Amino acid sequence: MTLEIAVKAAAGAPELLGDCPFCQRVLLTLEEKKVPYKSLLVNLSDKPQWFLDISPEGKVPVVKFDDKWVADSDVIVGMLEEKYPEPSLVTPPDFASVGSKIFISFINFLKSKDPSDETEKALVEQLKALDEHLKANGPFIAGEKITAADLSLAPKLYHLETALGHFKKWSVPEDLTHVHNYMKTLFSLQSFENTKPAAKEYVIAGWAPKVNA
């Protein structure tokens, strides 16, 4: 059975896949589990009525399970694991929170207008912790096998690399070689190729309002 999933369309190009990292996380999970799906692209700046009927808060992603629309990527990924247990993408509990503070640290640094507020330092600390974890446990967060933690982090690292490169001319420090290798591995996965935003310009356009706020 083909699952229906409503995801963000690209800003200014409603027929193309947009830049939502939470949508991509769910799409990556569907791809890795080989679950057939149909993407419904939603223009979030002009939400159609059919979408508001299934997602009253206007949030993506939403997936239809047994005639019921379910929101929230955490909930959706949990349900996919339950309904399609093979291959398992469960992250061992000890590793489930690895890298979980990188995204908020990235956003704080991206929005920062004050070079002395230590938001850059906080992000680098989080990336260093990931680097050390990968050095000891890699190539993926839980070892040889990709898990849900990697599929959650991959889109966020892609946004980090794209947005900070554009707005701050900043990149992940070169000495964090395990993080660089990890990103290279994740971004070259076929599932990532199939689900990434249509172009980096849409990622940049997605973050521009927050940077300029």
The tens place of each residue's pLDDT in the chain, 213 residues long, gives: 899 999 999 999 999 999 999 999 999 999 999 999 999 999 999 999 999 999 999 999 999 999 999 999 999 999 999 999 999 999 999 999 999 999 999 999 999 999 999 999 999 999 999 999 999 999 999 999 999 999 999 999 999 999 999 999 999 999 999 999 999 999 999 999 999 999 999 999 999 999 988
Tokens of 72: 């929230």
- Residues 20, 89, 176, 183: which is the catalytic one? 20
Please give the pLDDT value at position 199: 97
Please give the pLDDT value at position 137: 98
User: Kindly report the CA angle at 32 between 154 and 158, in degrees rounded to 5?
Assistant: 15
Please give the pLDDT value at position 213: 82
Tokens of 148: 């849900």
CA distance 69 to 157: 28
CA distance 101 to 138: 19
Please give the pLDDT value at position 103: 98
Please state whether the predicted TM-score (pTM) of the whole model is above 0.95.
yes
CA distance 80 to 77: 5
Place of tokens 């508001």: 52
Q: What counts of helices (H) and strands (E) characterise the chain?
A: 9, 5
Tokens of 30: 């569907």
CA distance 126 to 111: 17
Please give the pLDDT value at position 67: 94
- Name the helix (H) or strand (E) containing 71: strand 68-71
In this structure, the number of other CB atoms found within 10 A of the CB of residue 200 comes to 17
CA distance 180 to 127: 10
Does 20 qualify as catalytic in the annotation?
Answer: yes
